[in-house]
A = this chain, B = another copy of it.
Amino acid sequence: MTVTIVGIGLIGGSLALSLKDKSIATKVIGVDDNTLHKEKALLLGLVDEVMELNDSIKVSDLIVLAVPVNALTKLLPQVLDQVTNQVVIDVGSTKEGILEAVKDHPARKRFVATHPMWGTEYSGPDAAVHGAFVNKATVICNKEESDVAAVQMAEEMYRELGMHLMYMNGHDHDVHVAYISHISHITSFALANTVLEKEREENTIFELASGGFESTVRLAKSNPVTWASVFMQNRENVLDVLNEHISQLRKFKACLEKENYEYLEELMVNANKIKRILK
């Protein structure tokens, strides 16, 4: 089949590579606002061709929208306006807003809301890698609002990529990702700023940085436009989690202030329960 990917960055570009590597797509067309990204996508062999959006929709079986989630709420209705028999999926990190934006669209059933749970801290076409997505989960939201055949096409594609599927409604999805993805990004960004604030005085610290630091701070390299858009779309859930996280940090702070080392240790013994989940 012919697949159009709108937004040839980390996710769109990696998906393009995987679709070709696995012979899921016979042709991948790239669409992007950014001329430089289009040139790079061709140069790096991510896509076979670049086109304007409206032209590419006409010749595609599947259209994948891989743009920041804010742009998505405007772009998706425009794409659905032009769709006849094509399937449209998005790969955005938030779902409730986008589902709301098209819930009454006449072509709603041609759209499948999906979220493949894979990413890195890098961005743009240069960040695209082969072999992404394998063994990760894809969430499909509000499946019942899409045509059965459209859902099947999306499911088949993700399974062929080596992913397993999960189903939930957009609201639950957005709550979950606030906990397992969005808050991690905020803590990393804030941790980088904490250290950079200090670096004005102290340069040595970076020579010392070891694996633990790198691991907790690496997400701070992520794309600000992408993530501002995610936090904006998932504002209430992210605020909930952020409030909880700040209150958890305050517990550590109170323990240190009061020299309550028994409770400090207890907090960490509790945190160790994460071993149940992360091997």
Question: Which A residues are closer than 8 A to B by beta carbons?
Answer: 117-121, 136-137, 139, 166, 168, 172, 175-177, 179-181, 183-198, 202, 204-222, 224-225, 227-228, 231-232, 235, 238-239, 241-246, 248-253, 256-257, 259, 261, 264-265, 267-275, 277-278
- The answer to whether A242 touches B252, judged by C-beta atoms less than 8 angstroms apart, is yes
Which residues of chain B come closer than 8 Å to A193, judged between CB atoms?
A: 248, 251, 267, 270-271
- The answer to whether B184 touches A212, judged by C-beta atoms less than 8 angstroms apart, is yes
Which residues of chain B come closer than 8 Å to A251, judged between CB atoms?
A: 190, 193
- The answer to whether A194 touches B253, judged by C-beta atoms less than 8 angstroms apart, is no
- The answer to whether A205 touches B224, judged by C-beta atoms less than 8 angstroms apart, is no
Which residues of chain B come closer than 8 Å to A242, judged between CB atoms?
A: 249, 252-253, 256
- The answer to whether B204 touches A194, judged by C-beta atoms less than 8 angstroms apart, is no
**A-B CB proximity, top 4 nearest:** A224-B268, A192-B271, A192-B274, A189-B271
Query: Complex Cα distance A180/B273, Å?
Result: 24
Asked, given contacts A215-B219, A244-B194, A272-B220, whether A208 binds B238 with beta carbons under 8 Å apart, the answer is: no
Asked, given contacts A176-B202, A206-B277, A218-B278, whether A196 binds B271 with beta carbons under 8 Å apart, the answer is: yes
Asked, given contacts A228-B268, A242-B249, A265-B225, whether A179 binds B192 with beta carbons under 8 Å apart, the answer is: no
Query: Complex Cα distance A242/B195, Å?
Result: 11
| Known interface pairs A220-B274, A224-B269, A239-B256; 11 further A-B residue pairs with C-beta atoms within 8 A, sorted by A's residue number | A117-B208, A120-B211, A176-B208, A180-B208, A184-B213, A187-B216, A189-B268, A192-B274, A224-B272, A235-B259, A242-B249
Q: Describe A's contact surface by its main secondary structure.
A: helix
Asked, given contacts A195-B274, A256-B239, A267-B193, whether A215 binds B218 with beta carbons under 8 Å apart, the answer is: yes
Asked, given contacts A242-B249, A242-B256, A269-B224, whether A210 binds B190 with beta carbons under 8 Å apart, the answer is: no
Which residues of chain B come closer than 8 Å to A250, judged between CB atoms?
A: 246
Which residues of chain B come closer than 8 Å to A277, judged between CB atoms?
A: 206, 209
Query: Complex Cα distance A268/B226, Å?
Result: 10
- The answer to whether A249 touches B210, judged by C-beta atoms less than 8 angstroms apart, is no
Residue of B nearest to A276 (CB): B206
- The answer to whether B227 touches A192, judged by C-beta atoms less than 8 angstroms apart, is no
- The answer to whether B253 touches A243, judged by C-beta atoms less than 8 angstroms apart, is yes
- The answer to whether A184 touches B216, judged by C-beta atoms less than 8 angstroms apart, is yes
- The answer to whether B231 touches A264, judged by C-beta atoms less than 8 angstroms apart, is yes
User: Among B202, B207, B214, which residue has its beta carbon within 8 angstroms of that of A175?
Assistant: B202
Query: Complex Cα distance A209/B178, Å?
Result: 11
User: Among B118, B197, B256, which residue has its beta carbon within 8 angstroms of that of A238?
Assistant: B256
